[in-house]
Amino acid sequence: MSDRRYPDAVDVAIVGSGPTGAAYARILSEEAPGLTIAMFEVGPTVSEPAGSHVKNIVDPDARAAAQRRSEGPGAGEATLNSPRAVAEGARRARPGTFLLPDGDFATSGDGLPLAAMSSNVGGMGAHWTAACPRPGASERIGFLDDTGELDRLLDEGERLLGVTTHAFDTAPFGDLLRERLAAAVDEGRTPAARVQRMPLAVHRRDDGALVWSGSDVVLGDVTRANPHFELLDETLVTRVVQDSEGHRVSGVEVRDLRTGDTHLVRARFVVVAADAMRTPQLLWASGIRPDALGRYLNDQSQVVFAARITGIEDSVDGTAAAAGGALSESSGVSWVPFTDELPFHGQVMQLDASPIPLADDDPVIPGSIVGLGLFCAKEIRRDDRLEFADDALDAYGLPAIRVHYALTERDRAVIDRARREIVRLGEAVGAPLDDHPFQLPLGASLHYQGTTRMGETDDGTSVCGPESEVWGVEGLFVAGNNVIPTSTACNPTLTSVALAVKGARAIATRAVSAH
């Protein structure tokens, strides 16, 4: 039995503890420190400090246990950590995540067979690859870009996430790898769109080890030290509560998963940051149903390939340092940015480089094995959507989610083009290790977007305005990748955190002026 107490009332209730929910808590703690904030997370605390990346856990058994505790209703089911196994058709989640139930993932079209989520403090920020590229060209949000505001918000996002391009400066062959990729793709590109180091949310601990950033980094010491901030895990938010006229939020209804008890927590502002599947689900369950809710669903089709850097045999002395459970110094991540002419985003990873032989007589040179991935931009369609059942409930007792999603002819042409391009990049790197590129099943990107998309005006094609406040419901904000309105190919977390900064500042300004 739990003896914890839920607050009767707070200024701000945040649903979800991933990077965007954490960004709201951080900005509010910095800019309006007198506000009371309660953050509710359906999953347990699985790492220390709360919200930290589970791959920073050195002990492999403890790391696996943290991942299992993050898998919600999927805990105990078999998982796969190999892109190759996923590409070959195994319908299993990656460690730390769980899939939509079989039968619900595709009710029309191609569906999203690998649509997955996490339930834990830190959300997917406890499991992600920490890539934080800036959007480019048509990925950018025009009505925020015209005044330069988008880049200022992205600067803040990088600050909160602890983004650097220097995490792997010592990785062997990184410069050579980028030189070869650049020779293949840089001609005619602007400087920002040329091959470069991938911006990563990675930092170095006091003991010198490289570790991934998670929501713990976004929250920061200022939030943890804020006496007006409280994080309540294993708490399901079942409903966003509105006033009698339905024009303003008045709080949230929550269920303590440890006891089953329900509570009403009054709030002046509510931020729903529960991921691209569960944020629109909660709004639907609350009777908040803008016309665009759940629509314009955007996944990123992913093509992968592998190659070995050649011509380096005489330049090697010694082997790589062990990764020690965190990140190998011989890892490295390079970036081939999105362009409108080549509408995919390239993530090129030098795999953790302990010298594991490919064959008995073929030792791997640390840093020489390269995994290439191209994420493809999707044609945005209103009919790509989530449907919320009125006659079925999910494992949490909320309306079951069904996916309607289909690739267009244009999407398939982009994927075919990405297949050809990734082979060309592999050959530029050195010797391809695959006979052909693999397309991962839809949903494998975990980069779902658009289901509560932002718009400049309330014209029926968006759920929220430029400050992420839901149209027609004062005080209700949404956060996450689901807010991004454009067709993107790049990893979306930096953009969604940047948009959360804008929303949090709007709450801070309004709340302080009201006092």
Catalytic residues: 447
- Give the contacts of 195 (CB within 8 A, at least 6 positions apart): 178, 181, 182, 185, 186, 334, 335, 336, 337
Residue 5's Cβ-count burial label (10 Å; 0-12, 13-18, 19+) is exposed
The Cα–Cα gap between 43 and 117 comes to: 11
Q: Residues near 105 by Cβ (< 8 Å), separated by ≥ 6? A: 99, 111, 112, 113, 115, 402, 403, 443
**Per the structure block, which two tokens stand in for 286?**
């609350």
The two three-digit tokens of residue 402, written as one number: 């069904």
Question: Tokens in use for 459?
Answer: 């014209």
* Ramachandran sector of residue 159 (left: φ over 0; alpha: ψ -120 to 50; beta: rest): alpha
Beta-carbon contacts of residue 475 (< 8 Å; ≥ 6 apart):
248, 249, 267, 268, 269, 270, 469
The span from the CA of 415 to the CA of 378, in Å, is 10
- Of 10, 504, 15, nearest to 274 by C-alpha is 15
Q: How far is CA 257 from the centre of its chain?
A: 25
CA atoms of 12 and 26, how far apart (whole Å): 12
> Is omega for the bond preceding 49 within 30 degrees of 0, making it cis?
yes
User: Can you say whether the dihedral through the CA atoms of 214, 220, 225, 229 is positive or negative?
Assistant: negative
Helix (H) / strand (E) containing 264: strand 262-272
Query: What is the Cα–Cα distance from 433 to 439, expressed in whole angstroms?
Result: 16
Q: Specify the DSSP class assigned to residue 343.
A: -
